Amino acid sequence: MKKYTILFYVIIFLVSSVSLAQSRKTAKADKLYDRFKFQEAIKEYKKLVRTDRKDRPYIYQKLGDAYSTIGKSYEAEKWYEKVVRQKNIDPVYYFRYAMTLRQNKKYEESIEWMRKYRINSGMSDSRLQEFFKELDIVEKIKKDGLQAQFFNININSPYTEYGGVYYKDDKIVYTTNNISAKAKKLSSWDNLPFTDLKLALRDGDNFEVLDENDPNINTDFHESSPTFNKDFTVMFFTRNNLDPKKKKRIKDYNLKIYRSFYQDGHWSVPEEVHFDSNDYNCAHPVLSKDNKTLYFVSDMPGTFGKSDIYKVAVNPDWTLGEPENMGKHINTEGVETFPFVDVDNNLYFSSDGHAGLGGLDIFVAFYINGKFLMLKNLGLPYNSSKDDFAFILNDNKKEGFVSSNRLGGNGFDDIYMFKTDQKFEPLIYFVGYTKDENNFVIPNTRLELYEEYNSVAKTVSMHNGRFTFLVDPNKKYYIKARKNGYDDGEVSFDTYELDKATIKKNIILRQKQKIKGCVADFDTKKALDSVEVKIYGHNADVEQKFVIYTNPNGCFEFEVPAKSRHKEVYYEFEFRKDLYLPKRYNYKNTLGKDSINWIKPYKERIFLIKLHLEPIYFDLNKANIRPDAARELDKIVALLNKYPQVKLSMESHTDSRNSDAYNLDLSERRAKATMQYLIDHGIDPSRLQAKGFGESRPVNHCIDGVKCSEKEHQMNRRTEFVIIN
């Protein structure tokens, strides 16, 4: 957008410009800049930048600001990049650079410089909250835009046309500085004509510019942004500040709102509205459809940002009440401008303070139950990375106009007509907090919004656990929350039959609880990796079995199933590794708040003794110790004598032949016979434990009803040795 077409935008930008210092060398260029002669100022600054090393940081700023003011974002980016590389700059230039990058579709870079602005500015800025609320806001805006046909209408020229407004008898009124329209004075800051209000007759999608001009309305200076009552007998519009007697400008950039009445075939001499002032600007009025409220833009005292949207009551005699700021829900620290109200009282406006695609984006604040409750970026194709403004809809909401300086236009700004069969629907604001079961905040939680089964948005909860999503009406959603160390949390909701535009629900995440341990060699104390860890759960609710392995550090973690948490748990851990005696460890504990519960106190390691022992085997239906078994048992005796602190369990088994009861008894006899052999060879009985398992733990497929060879059955007639302490 060539910013002289949105006069208010320009003025505010210039007033808020910052600089390091002026010097005698830059005085000429500064004077041109201060008189708004930017093209001439740019030439002077470019001469100086090559020779004036001392003032370069200042000159970089002025070149960036000048190019940004006249709408050349790529040139502005070049100079702002030089500014932000300097030391001790005003942090506002981080913000300006970020916004320029957005206009040039460099969204990722823009976010990074916005972060730098947040860190260095030392101030609370609602614009920052907007931009960081949803990191993927650009993709969301692109995706959420309603489909529409866009037409660059034929009244556009190489100059500026903007702000098409519906008028009577198939006409539109628009603003232009097309020099063929009328020879008039030039603006002091760009040497281009001031703008006039023009009429065009519509024939289908074609428009014919009419050679009609009312001298009471169009003057030698700027006129723009008209709005009319229902029967087109009253008009409010924007005009430069003029001396009412001498018709001379006080400032050609100070703006006021004027009112005129249509009488006897022409418009009356306009009068200022009562809240106009020479000390601030008022511009871009628009009447509500019931003609009871006038919305406008101003930087009057009490404004939150560079320009805010206000409203004022309209009396039956067309006098106005006292202006009321629309509040921080609508207005930001940036620019809000060009309001429009549709037949349902929804408020459309342009802003560079709410997160968008770049430059000015068009937003809508939906009117729900007497309040403007929700903002929505209109998305593509209504918005672009450039400036988009002066949005208007007809009463059936299927057609309207947008003005823009987007690429592909005829001039500086163009009027685009759009047609659509889709309606702008309000968004609902979902607000929640991520917390644990004890109501403590869980920050930095990843959240994903699903519509039915499709992911539609992502965000991360803030330091206080707060997160937000924008959702559509009349749909079903659920949100999934993910955080390391916690089970996934989830909340479902729908947006049918809502009485307000905010839904508040928290998501509770349950902390995961793990049992952890580490395994090492008994003699060398070195960690043992790839140890098989069998875990048998003996909790009241369900019998569980898991198999995991130790990592290169000899450690393992076992995640306790959610249903077993916050109660007493009982697990049997069995450790096995080739060339080592198996070991079993019983763990019984009531798990509390800690996410990690060590299998042994004080993080003690579990030691395995390196000794390769084979199971001993038995003959069919026998429990006596065979000679080959005695040789293995002698190794056990030597082991127990070497390690007097070791306690051993003898666990005996049978094959599947015979009944369960018979086999359980047979396995008990085999276990006792094995234990007795060790006792007979001098081992203290208190160090031994014997247990029979019958046919319940075969080492192969030979279970009831399966035909197996004698050799396969032999593998199950065994006693195994497991260290239990």
> Cα 449 to the chain's mean position, in Å?
11
Q: Residue 342: which pLDDT band, with cuts at 50, 70 and 90? A: very high
pLDDT, tens only, 225-279: 999 999 999 999 999 865 544 444 444 458 999 999 999 889 999 999 999 998 8
As a whole number of angstroms, the distance between CA 226 and CA 167 comes to 10
Mean pLDDT of 39-50: 86
Place of tokens 């910013």: 3
Higher pLDDT, 146 or 667: 667
Place of tokens 């929350």: 481
DSSP code, position 548: E
Mean pLDDT of 551-574: 81
Tell me how far CA of residue 199 lies from CA of 165, 208, 341, 413, in angstroms: 10, 9, 22, 17
As a whole number of angstroms, the distance between CA 357 and CA 348 comes to 17
Higher pLDDT, 406 or 602: 406
Compute φ and ψ for 169, nearest 5 degrees. 55, 45
Is residue 162 a contact partner of residue 415, using CB atoms and an 8 Å limit?
Answer: yes
pLDDT of residue 27: 83
Q: Residue 14: which pLDDT band, with cuts at 50, 70 and 90? A: very low
pLDDT of residue 524: 92
Q: What is the pTM of this model?
A: 0.57
Full set of structural domains in the chain with CATH: 3-124 (1.25.40.10), 149-419 (2.120.10.30), 428-508 (2.60.40.10), 514-608 (2.60.40.1120), 616-723 (3.30.1330.60)
In the predicted model, is pLDDT for residue 16 greater than 80?
no
Q: Residue 12: which pLDDT band, with cuts at 50, 70 and 90? A: very low
Place of tokens 């470019």: 46
Q: Residue 6: which pLDDT band, with cuts at 50, 70 and 90? A: very low
Half-sphere exposure of 351 (CA within 13 A, CB side): 32
pLDDT, tens only, 437-465: 888 899 999 999 999 889 999 999 999 99
Q: Residue 610: which pLDDT band, with cuts at 50, 70 and 90? A: confident
Mean pLDDT of 475-493: 90
Q: Residue 585: which pLDDT band, with cuts at 50, 70 and 90? A: confident
Higher pLDDT, 639 or 244: 639
Half-sphere exposure of 220 (CA within 13 A, CB side): 10
Highest mean pLDDT among 224-233, 367-376, 605-614: 224-233
In the predicted model, is pLDDT for residue 366 greater than 90?
no
In the predicted model, is pLDDT for residue 15 greater than 50?
no
In the predicted model, is pLDDT for residue 47 greater than 90?
no
Residues of the chain with pLDDT > 70, as a percent, come to 86
As a whole number of angstroms, the distance between CA 668 and CA 664 comes to 6
Which of 114-128, 293-307, 595-609 has the weakest average pLDDT?
114-128
Is residue 287 a contact partner of residue 236, using CB atoms and an 8 Å limit?
Answer: yes
Mean pLDDT of 536-565: 78
Highest mean pLDDT among 213-227, 260-274, 474-488, 502-516: 260-274
Q: Residue 132: which pLDDT band, with cuts at 50, 70 and 90? A: low
pLDDT, tens only, 669-707: 999 999 999 999 999 999 999 999 999 999 999 999 899
Give the closest residue to 547 by CA, choosing from 576, 527, 567. Answer: 576
pLDDT, averaged across the chain:
84
Is residue 300 a contact partner of residue 324, using CB atoms and an 8 Å limit?
Answer: no
Mean pLDDT of 629-651: 89
Residues of the chain with pLDDT > 90, as a percent, come to 43
pLDDT of residue 586: 86
Place of tokens 């084979």: 614
Is residue 528 a contact partner of residue 608, using CB atoms and an 8 Å limit?
Answer: yes
Mean pLDDT of 85-105: 84
As a whole number of angstroms, the distance between CA 608 and CA 575 comes to 8
pLDDT of residue 353: 79
Helix axis angle for 92-103 and 73-84, nearest 10°, is 150
In the predicted model, is pLDDT for residue 617 greater than 70?
yes
In the predicted model, is pLDDT for residue 571 greater than 80?
yes
How far is the first Cα of the chain from the last one, in angstroms, to the nearest whole number?
Answer: 81
Q: Residue 108: which pLDDT band, with cuts at 50, 70 and 90? A: confident
